[in-house]
Structure 1
Amino acid sequence: MRVPFLAAVSNHRSSYGAAACLLASLLPLACSAGDESGEAKLSGELAIYESSFKDGASSLHYGLRRPGLPEVTVELAEPVAYAPGASVELAGRFDEKGHFVASSVVRATGEPGLGTSTQALAQPTQTRNVAILLLRPSDQATPAPWVVGKELVANNLFGTASLPDFPAKPQNTDAYYREASYGARALSGNVFDWLTIDPLVDYCDTNALRTAGLAKAAESGIDLSAYQHVGFVVAAGCGNIAGRAELGTPSNPGRYSWYYYEGGSELFIHELGHNFGLQHALVYSCSSGGEAVTIAPVAQCTENPDFPQDVWDPMGIRSFAHFGGYNKMLQGWLAGSNVVTAGPAGGDFTLEPLELASSAPQLLRVPADSSLCPADINPCFYYVEYRQPIGFDGTPQFTNTSMHDGALLRLGGDIDTTGNSLGALTRLPSVHPPIQADTLRVGETFQDPTGLRITTVATPSAGGHQNLVIRVSRASRISATVALSSGQSGATGSYCADVKITNISTTAVNGGWLVRLNLNQSTLSSGWNGTFTSAGGSLYDVTAAAWNATILPGQFTTASFCANKTGASFTPQVAFTTSN
């Protein structure tokens, strides 16, 4: 049996570093023999790739490269915070596949740091040239043109059609980027017909696919030098992976992307977004005392970076939704006047719809307490935006959703003014826990554990569209949750519920508190352990009884009520709270 070269040298730790460097010299890459631990050291530029799975999952992959030299696949135990293209030094070992398994990654000496600012990064208008190479392994049949082919891909990407079966598609990737960027970014280019490549052992090996595709293109006389982006649509599968892209930064976009039997507009939007430096848009689930809440200290919250499920941003679930305000700000599409940051005193802020090209505020940043910030985005901000059924955000897939009903709230980091870093992972918390994707409607308030309040005040009409008025304030020192105690099922009959009022401050609440409830499709029939007063429509104010007006720090009291259902959407919600 032939023993792989690296398997043989791995039994001799003292010579491993030298052997690894021998392999690196054949690649070639900068390498030192390492130390007595037997680890080799490599240096070069970090490459980052993002894989998108058909079920919505994702994963990160890394490489190390120098211009014009073969790239080495790098295996990392944990994601790194460095941007694509960063000069790094790796320590580790090669495995039997020739991958470098890194035990440590450090930024190279002298590599500049990154600055941050509240201002958007200004970007000039750009038309990005895109080439798509269709690759068919010689042992695979050419897919039917309505499955994936030159005409279909060109139509989905550029809205061009050359066959009667493919009428021009207005909802294409180029049209999307033109609208989402307010005209700052456009796409042009070509889709080249099927190129036949030799079969590969592993079609998930995107380095091998890129090498084979570029070689076949050159052999066929295709000059790719004028194209800033090159995509490979492959007539072969890679398990559950739909696409993969090289991550870039706003000022230095990635060039390559891969698509497995896929050529849809939404996937092109998503993967090119990675090229432009956008990371995934996640959902954020928090709990307190065993109950779902909108936000909580980091230790009480969970997320799954491998399943980006933000339905309002194509960097979450792939769709035609506009990029979220944070991602638009990162790209420089929202200028300084479009972004306003709330100060310590709070106040009222009017936002225009995110879809419009405007010089007015469209994105509100509210600083969040550091205890609520995930490690990768500390300091962090609540990003508040408003969507209306305009353009791509008015497509049928959003008709029966709450996208346009109120404020969208995300948790995100600061913006790098140099444009040389990836955007942060954004988190979409549940404003109506445990519902994962919803908006903050007029009259509703989000309150975090520090007492910061964000309230949707009104949606006044102006200039032929609606705006959104947001109020930022410091709330009472209590939080409140409502939970059904009976009658949970069925759209008719009655139910009873308990309102739990907790003192979240460090001092006693003396003299009273108030919780406003929205009973939605139900009407109050009785209440106890508090005073229940109608506040108009389905809103009711719950105030303290004499015996529970005082709540000590960290303690809670409970008021209860029963109500009659008038429809299926009867579940009560807390609108806001106040205290003395």
Structure 2
Amino acid sequence: MLRIVYTSLALLTVALTPHSSLAAGSSSVEDLTRQLRALGARYQRGDATALGALAAVAATRQQRLAGLIADHPETVLRQALSSVERAALPPAVQPYVEEEQSVDGDLEVIHEDDHAGGRYVYALRASQRLALHFAADPPALRTGDRVRVRGVRVQQALALSSGTTQVTMLEAASSFTSGAQRTLVILVNFQDKPGQTWLTTQQAHDIVFGTGGSVSNFFLENSYQQSWLTGDVYGIYTIAVNSTTCNPDAIATYAKQAAVAHGANLSNYARYLYAFPNTPCNWSGRATVGGYPAEAWINGSFQDGVVAHEEGHNYGLYHSHALDCGTAIIGSSCSSIEYGDTLDTMGSAVPMKHFNAVQKDILGWLDYGTAPPITTVQASGVYTLDPYETTGSNPKALKVKTPAGDWYYVEYRQPLGFDTSAVSGNTNVKNGVVLHLWSKQSLNGVYLLDATSTSSWGDPALGVGSVFADTTAGVSIAPVWVGGTAGVNVTVTGGTACVRNSPTVQVTPAEQVGAAGGTASYTVSVTNNDSGCAASSFSQSATAPSGWAVTFAATALSISPGATASTTMQVKAPAAAPVASYTVSAVSQNASAAGYTDSDNAVYTVISGSGGSFTDSFTRADSSTLGNGWLQVAGTLMVQSGQAANALVRTMHTAVVPALVGAAHTVSASFASGDNNGGPRFGLIVRYKDAQNYYACYRQAGGSSMLRIAKVVNGVETVVKSASIANPAKNTLFTLGCTAQGSALTLSLNGLTKVSVSDSSLAAGSPGMFMGYATTGSVVTTHHADDFSATVQ
């Protein structure tokens, strides 16, 4: 098994020891945690005098944890109170205590480049922006990926133990790697140094968009004529930021404001590039990894290679590393050099040079559309490659899959185009083949191999007469003839045969309920069942009844064998659709191999109704369904011993009364919690339009005991107003009430109004109720509801 240890420009063996300030900080946090637990125990024993000290310690401890979370999330995780401990604290103290949360949102990934390797900065854009700090294995994902994260929240940040176990991909962001990339370049000065002429707009235009060796032409050649930059340069503007500070967000905000004031239309651009004189920021470049719009910051050094490197991040690329295995080419214990691929601008930025074949494969610049082919080796033989830099119909690279799922890539570099400077004086590279490893098909797992590992990194290519052999994988590679611009012949043994299989498509939820003219959202998940093949592009389509409209958030998904990707399918019913259930079929087809397809059905049930009243005391025979006019829209609610109860499945169990439809709602029901552990919710629904759009008034029990009014719009829940409340007594009924009158929403507990707010996002719909769990976990308990009542006008 390949084990990779990360270093930056130098190979070091580092023994991690606590910095003195960290040790002191950790000790203080430990002391504060002990104090908090002791004071909490006193308060629980009835000592009311402990409340003041308890609140003070909690507030001080929260500030200390907030100061540690960015650099030492492992300390925060180690010191975090459990949900049970938090729930036992007084409601006034709980806001000062960290909380384990599961949050869905759009990921933001930014890389800051410096000579030591830089760092990745993660955040989640949900109802609030949350900084993400990983104790280990940050995820190799892109800005805009829809994810679910689970961690310990301190103020506006989450500490997560691992990027592999605590981050779940929900839907990959769309990629924008072909065609013209509309780019807005904004040059700024700082208010304390307003007169600097460090760069002219013409110079910036020539570097980014000009003829000859511009960044745009670099991408045009690099992509084999498939992608380039086009756009405008604005500035130089003096902005309200000082040169003595490092505040990239403020620079971006003020730069865009200045450009708009001078006539720029931000919506015309897919990328923003901010350039400014040197600041104290310890990075020369900063960029989002992917994203739309993508953003990049250039700190003083407006060189073509630096701009190209940051734009490479904007295209969605991580760095091109080098893998140092001592005197071996590959081995079981190797070290990664962060910027180590000297033949790739994503490794060594200056001068500009072609991205390696792994990176181009990731971007879809090989073997796609009019792009030159890449040969997937499925059997031993002799293979021919053309020079890597030129267009044409002959293969530009080989890729060989190992039994472990890694890939070796082979390319033949010549001093042509943007590779001229890096290759022309390198006899080794010109007369051999360059090897790369794509480890675990990770965006951050791209490595140049040193095929002459007993010498320096200046001669990494494998020459004629030499053989690279990975005996564990059963792969060997050997160039047998090199002919300059005529190409190269390479003997390859090993490789895994590509076996195609139809994908598996699953649509969730299987059924949605809505009005005629309404829209319902479904998640379409596609699993690539191929083996031994490269990633394939799967195209999405749908069949629907006449007059129905179906759209996909992403019509093409790139999926590796064994992996699953998802997109959102929206189904819109005709305004005149009669009350009935309608079937829509989601179809996914392997665009890389015709004939491999699968489908799954979704049901949209059109409901109608009018105002009126409805009550249910559930005093009827036990049943696996509610019956009596209820429509189950999620999970399972049943009649059990004269009450409604949920099935023992950890999900949210939801039912509505479709016969009642209107704008004004007065709804109530009684609930009993079987166990507050696991964070159960008990709630009422008003103005239910479909499973993606409604208001919810609910009680959240467990570690975060709250009363909340929330709106669900297009499937995204936003808490509009909340209030802290003690956990309910187990197996004891409490009554919730929810009203919607115009824009006024209120939530009551046992007849007393606790939360009220104004919101006009949703106008009309049906009433309902729910109970269960909104997050994953192991705890699941039967809860009960009784005496449901609803009046709708």
TM-score by shorter chain over 0.5: yes
SS at match of 2:57: coil
Q: Aligned partners of 1:360, 1:10: CA distance in 2, in Å?
A: 71
Residue in 1 that maps onto 2:767: none
Q: Is the 8 A contact 1:407 1:439 kept in 2?
A: yes
- 1:447 lines up with 2:469 in the alignment: yes
Residue in 1 that maps onto 2:143: 84
| Aligned-partner residue type, residue 259 of structure 1 | I
Cα shift at 1:46 = 1.2
Cα pair distance change 1:39/1:157, threshold 3 Å: same
SS at match of 1:338: coil
SS at match of 2:170: coil
- 1:63 lines up with 2:129 in the alignment: no
Q: Which has the higher contact order (CA 8 A, sep 6+)?
A: 1
Residue in 2 that maps onto 1:408: 434
Cα pair distance change 1:180/1:232, threshold 3 Å: same
Residue in 2 that maps onto 1:436: 457
In the TM superposition, 1:292-371 aligns within 5 A as 292-297=327-332, 300-304=333-337, 307-318=338-349, 319-335=351-367, 338-343=373-378, 345-370=379-404
Residue in 2 that maps onto 1:395: 421
C-alpha distance after superposition, 1:393-452 (max 9, x if no partner): 12377434633221000001476xxxxxx7343111211114224211122111224353
- 1:456 lines up with 2:479 in the alignment: yes
TM-score, with length taken from structure 2: 0.47
SS at match of 1:225: helix
Q: Aligned partners of 2:306, 2:120: CA distance in 1, in Å?
A: 17
Q: Aligned partners of 1:361, 1:406: CA distance in 2, in Å?
A: 16
Q: Is the 8 A contact 1:442 1:459 kept in 2?
A: yes
Cα shift at 1:112 = 4.7
Cα pair distance change 1:364/1:50, threshold 3 Å: same
- 1:73 lines up with 2:131 in the alignment: yes
SS at match of 1:179: helix
Cα shift at 1:473 = 2.6
In the TM superposition, 1:217-256 aligns within 5 A as 217-248=259-290, 255-256=294-295
| Aligned-partner residue type, residue 76 of structure 1 | F
| Aligned-partner residue type, residue 74 of structure 1 | L
Q: Aligned partners of 1:350, 1:334: CA distance in 2, in Å?
A: 16
Cα pair distance change 1:221/1:112, threshold 3 Å: closer
Q: Is the 8 A contact 2:192 2:243 kept in 1?
A: no
C-alpha distance after superposition, 1:147-203 (max 9, x if no partner): 4332221111011xxxxxxxxx61110111111111100111111111211125974
Q: Aligned partners of 1:35, 1:221: CA distance in 2, in Å?
A: 56
Aligned length: 406
Cα pair distance change 1:358/1:275, threshold 3 Å: same
Which of 303, 310, 318 matches 1:271? 310
Q: Is the 8 A contact 1:14 1:36 kept in 2?
A: no
Cα shift at 1:90 = 4.1
SS at match of 1:131: strand
Q: Is the 8 A contact 1:296 1:449 kept in 2?
A: no
Cα shift at 1:253 = 5.3
| Aligned-partner residue type, residue 367 of structure 1 | K
Q: Aligned partners of 1:468, 1:132: CA distance in 2, in Å?
A: 41
In the TM superposition, 1:530-569 aligns within 5 A as none
Q: Aligned partners of 2:374, 2:287: CA distance in 1, in Å?
A: 29
Q: Aligned partners of 1:10, 1:110: CA distance in 2, in Å?
A: 39
Q: Is the 8 A contact 1:442 1:458 kept in 2?
A: yes
Identify the range of structure 1 (380-389 vs 99-108) with the bigger mean alpha-carbon deviation.
99-108
C-alpha distance after superposition, 1:285-310 (max 9, x if no partner): 114xxxx111012xx11114xx3120
TM-score, with length taken from structure 1: 0.63
What 5-or-longer segments of structure 1 have no aligned partner? 1-6, 21-32, 115-120, 160-168, 371-378, 416-421, 476-580
Q: Is the 8 A contact 1:56 1:317 kept in 2?
A: no
Q: Aligned partners of 1:256, 1:15: CA distance in 2, in Å?
A: 36
Which of 166, 183, 204 matches 1:153? 204
Cα pair distance change 1:206/1:398, threshold 3 Å: farther
Q: Is the 8 A contact 1:46 1:88 kept in 2?
A: no
Which of 315, 319, 322 matches 1:280? 319
Residue in 2 that maps onto 1:111: 170
Q: Aligned partners of 2:267, 2:237: CA distance in 1, in Å?
A: 18
Q: Is the 8 A contact 2:272 2:293 kept in 1?
A: no
C-alpha distance after superposition, 1:452-496 (max 9, x if no partner): 3210100247xxx32111101369xxxxxxxxxxxxxxxxxxxxx
Q: Aligned partners of 2:414, 2:312: CA distance in 1, in Å?
A: 22
Q: Is the 8 A contact 1:365 1:382 kept in 2?
A: yes
What 5-or-longer segments of structure 2 have no aligned partner? 1-31, 33-53, 67-81, 87-96, 496-793
Which of 384, 394, 399 matches 2:410? 384
Identity %: 25
Cα shift at 1:129 = 0.7
Q: Aligned partners of 1:272, 1:213: CA distance in 2, in Å?
A: 18
SS at match of 2:358: helix
| Aligned-partner residue type, residue 308 of structure 1 | Y
Cα pair distance change 1:436/1:10, threshold 3 Å: farther
Residue in 2 that maps onto 1:12: 58
SS at match of 1:175: helix
SS at match of 1:357: coil
Q: Aligned partners of 2:98, 2:330: CA distance in 1, in Å?
A: 43
Residue in 2 that maps onto 1:473: 493
Q: Aligned partners of 2:220, 2:288: CA distance in 1, in Å?
A: 22
- 1:210 lines up with 2:252 in the alignment: yes
CA RMSD of the aligned region, Å?
Answer: 3.5
Q: Aligned partners of 1:316, 1:124: CA distance in 2, in Å?
A: 19
Residue in 2 that maps onto 1:118: none
Cα shift at 1:109 = 7.3
Q: Aligned partners of 1:35, 1:187: CA distance in 2, in Å?
A: 54
In the TM superposition, 1:131-170 aligns within 5 A as 131-144=184-197, 147-159=198-210, 170=212
Q: Is the 8 A contact 1:365 1:383 kept in 2?
A: yes
SS at match of 2:312: helix
Q: Aligned partners of 1:301, 1:219: CA distance in 2, in Å?
A: 53
Q: Aligned partners of 2:183, 2:149: CA distance in 1, in Å?
A: 32
Cα shift at 1:342 = 1.9
| Aligned-partner residue type, residue 410 of structure 1 | H
Cα shift at 1:108 = 7.4
| Aligned-partner residue type, residue 342 of structure 1 | V
Q: Aligned partners of 2:188, 2:280: CA distance in 1, in Å?
A: 14
Q: Is the 8 A contact 1:244 1:258 kept in 2?
A: yes
Cα shift at 1:11 = 3.1
SS at match of 1:403: helix
Q: Aligned partners of 1:10, 1:216: CA distance in 2, in Å?
A: 44
Identify the range of structure 1 (232-241 vs 351-360) with the bigger mean alpha-carbon deviation.
232-241
Cα pair distance change 1:56/1:442, threshold 3 Å: farther
